[in-house]
Structure 1
Amino acid sequence: MMQKILVTGATGNVGQEVVRLLLLQNCHVYAAVRNPPSDKQILGSDVECIPFDFTNPDTFTEAFKEVNKLFLVRPPALANVRQQIAPALNAAKLAGIEHIVFLSLLGAERNSFVPHSKIERYIEQLGVPATFLRCSFFMQNLNTTHCEDIKTRGELLMPAGNGKTSFIDVRDIAAVAVRTLIEDGHQSRAYALTGKEALTYYEVANILTSVLGKQIHYNPSLLKFVQQTRSSGLPMDFILVMIAIYTTARLGLAGTITSDTEQLLNRSPMTIRQYVEDYAEFWL
């Protein structure tokens, strides 16, 4: 039977790659998006775009009615799990969703402040079979969230101190996600997904400098980070979540290296140098 899978966050870094790989596996992919006409141009004609908004319950019934599995991505701007995420999860259970694969955060089981932890607990309370992909810091955040800082100011600005981070490429995350969605045996499991090396942001800046051929320096100032993100219009809830994530790195808790990614993919995870080489055009 063909798998019918709803992908939230389908136009994001991980979501787009998950959609692409699911289509290669002959799955029927539904993209839960806020603007189907424009998002279909991004995702392509093989994807059925379904109107969906976590903050609009009127969109839930139609989105969940045809699917049996859900790839769940928390929208970064939504931090109140009880009000902004839980109603959609309730609707998914009522619709008979058989399996949720949730894009979570490395260490979420030990960090109750981050929304990912609250979502994990809520899914467990619902009793829907689930797989939690607890991912380390995405390499691709450097060419999205932090792209302008790197490109225009030659600066990596994040309050992570001298702590190491086991960065992971979203292409590896998506490959793992697809396996857990289409294969049996991953329900009620949590995977800690990391890259193969743990680096400080000073080391990342050096790799960027080496590959791009221009000087990139790392600035760990918390005050400047808050000022910069506020001036760019990001909501304070979102900024506080980012600070919590970077604090994890600063305290030395983000440098864990696990074997889960390599075991699930049967290959070594991508390195950050490989990532920078592949994405260099974003910062030039």
Structure 2
Amino acid sequence: MATHTNPAQPTTLILGARGTVGSALNPLLTALGHRTRLATSRPPQAADEVHLNLLTGEGLSTAFAGVDHAFLMAPPGHINQDVLLAPVIDAARAHNLKRVVLMSAMGANADENAPLRLAEKQLQATGLAWNVIRPNWFMQNFNTFWLQGIREQGQIFLPTGQARGSFIDARDIAAVAAALLTTDTHANAEFDLTGAEAIDHDQVAALLSQATGRTIGYTEVTPEAMRPGLLAAGLPAAYADFMLLILGYFKAGYAERTTDAVQRITGRAPIGFAQYARDYREAWA
């Protein structure tokens, strides 16, 4: 049976489509009338998936063929984000995409030579309609990266002292990306994305305790004590060192700033940490 697609219906390529942000972005774009093409480094399992290996460039031309818009991000676990994203940004320009949103990270623009900043600048120089979004630390780190200590010992083990972070829910990042990919209101602008308030890890632990009915605490550890756990979790040594470096920036207070970008772009307040904790409470059971 032949399928007929609406030629006016744009196609959006989503990098990291099975990840925390990408998996939340896909249904939002679909609901807004976009066809989505989901880039995966694994063999495609569905008709809307396309194989794309950013480490080798394999699948790049196929991924971009017939695409109108794209959501770009670097694959996690690598520190040479500029090298991995450069061919992707070149492909977006070669295919003359109507709109490109790049997810970077808050603080990437503090150093003009940082790999993510170099990728941002490359996109901004393409002549395409672009947005750069720089989220702060994800709330979802607590149900992924920091999960084991919470589950097994009831403790958040991090080298962050009493510093506060304006943690953002990945669902808000997806909502911002969806709005930027489907409207022209904020073209050619960059946004730091945060939650509405900054809290420390003792407050995080209290909110997780409240949501789960368990007693969860926060224990500060040294970077040296944390490093073996990161390596045991499968992180490459260079990326483990990068994680400890940016956790040091957190401890120094750089994650505390809040912005109104989520409210401005989506028209609603960011999800609060208490709501996140309730929504994900099964993770820490």
CA distance in 1, matches of 2:184, 2:92: 20
Q: Could you tell me whether the CA contact under 8 Å between 1:4 and 1:28 is conserved in 2?
A: yes
Alpha-carbon displacement from aligned partner over 1:216-237 (angstroms, at most 9, x marks no partner):
2223321221121012221122
**How far off is 1:168 after superposition?**
0.9
CA distance in 2, matches of 1:118, 1:277: 38
**How far off is 1:60 after superposition?**
0.8
CA distance in 2, matches of 1:78, 1:120: 16
Helix, strand or coil for the counterpart of 2:278? Answer: helix
Among 1, 12, 15, the residue aligned to 1:8: 15
**How far off is 1:36 after superposition?**
4.2
**How far off is 1:124 after superposition?**
2.4
Change (3 A) 1:105 1:81: closer
Structure 2, unmatched stretches of 5+, are: 1-7
Q: TM-score, normalised by structure 2?
A: 0.91
CA distance in 1, matches of 2:34, 2:213: 42
Greater helix fraction, Structure 1 or Structure 2: 1
CA distance in 1, matches of 2:104, 2:119: 9
Alpha-carbon displacement from aligned partner over 1:119-156 (angstroms, at most 9, x marks no partner):
21222243433101111111111111111221112121
CA distance in 2, matches of 1:110, 1:30: 33
CA distance in 1, matches of 2:278, 2:82: 41
CA distance in 1, matches of 2:26, 2:68: 16
**How far off is 1:240 after superposition?**
2.5
CA distance in 2, matches of 1:29, 1:168: 24
Helix, strand or coil for the counterpart of 2:190? Answer: strand
CA distance in 1, matches of 2:41, 2:284: 29
Q: For residue 31 of structure 2, what is the aligned residue in structure 1? A: 24
Helix, strand or coil for the counterpart of 2:133? Answer: strand
Among 31, 35, 40, the residue aligned to 2:42: 35
CA distance in 1, matches of 2:213, 2:81: 43
Change (3 A) 1:275 1:81: closer
Change (3 A) 1:68 1:23: same
Q: For residue 224 of structure 1, what is the aligned residue in structure 2? A: 225
Change (3 A) 1:87 1:36: same
Change (3 A) 1:82 1:105: closer
Q: For residue 210 of structure 2, what is the aligned residue in structure 1? A: 210
Q: Where do residues 179-198 of structure 1 align in structure 2 (5 Å cutoff)?
A: 179-198=179-198
Q: Could you tell me whether the CA contact under 8 Å between 2:82 and 2:116 is conserved in 1?
A: no
Change (3 A) 1:114 1:210: farther
**How far off is 1:113 after superposition?**
7.0
Q: For residue 238 of structure 2, what is the aligned residue in structure 1? A: 237
Q: For residue 163 of structure 2, what is the aligned residue in structure 1? A: 163
Aligned pair count? 277
CA distance in 2, matches of 1:112, 1:283: 39
Identity %: 30
Q: TM-score, normalised by structure 1?
A: 0.91
Mean Cα deviation higher: 125-134 or 266-275 = 125-134
Change (3 A) 1:112 1:224: farther
CA distance in 1, matches of 2:214, 2:283: 13
Helix, strand or coil for the counterpart of 2:164? Answer: coil
CA distance in 1, matches of 2:115, 2:148: 26
Helix, strand or coil for the counterpart of 1:126? Answer: coil
Structure 1, unmatched stretches of 5+, are: 41-46
CA RMSD of aligned residues (A): 1.7
Alpha-carbon displacement from aligned partner over 1:187-241 (angstroms, at most 9, x marks no partner):
2101121111100112111211222222222233212211210122211222133
Q: For residue 43 of structure 1, what is the aligned residue in structure 2? A: none
CA distance in 1, matches of 2:112, 2:251: 17
Change (3 A) 1:159 1:115: farther
Q: Where do residues 92-103 of structure 1 align in structure 2 (5 Å cutoff)?
A: 92-103=92-103
CA distance in 2, matches of 1:118, 1:153: 40
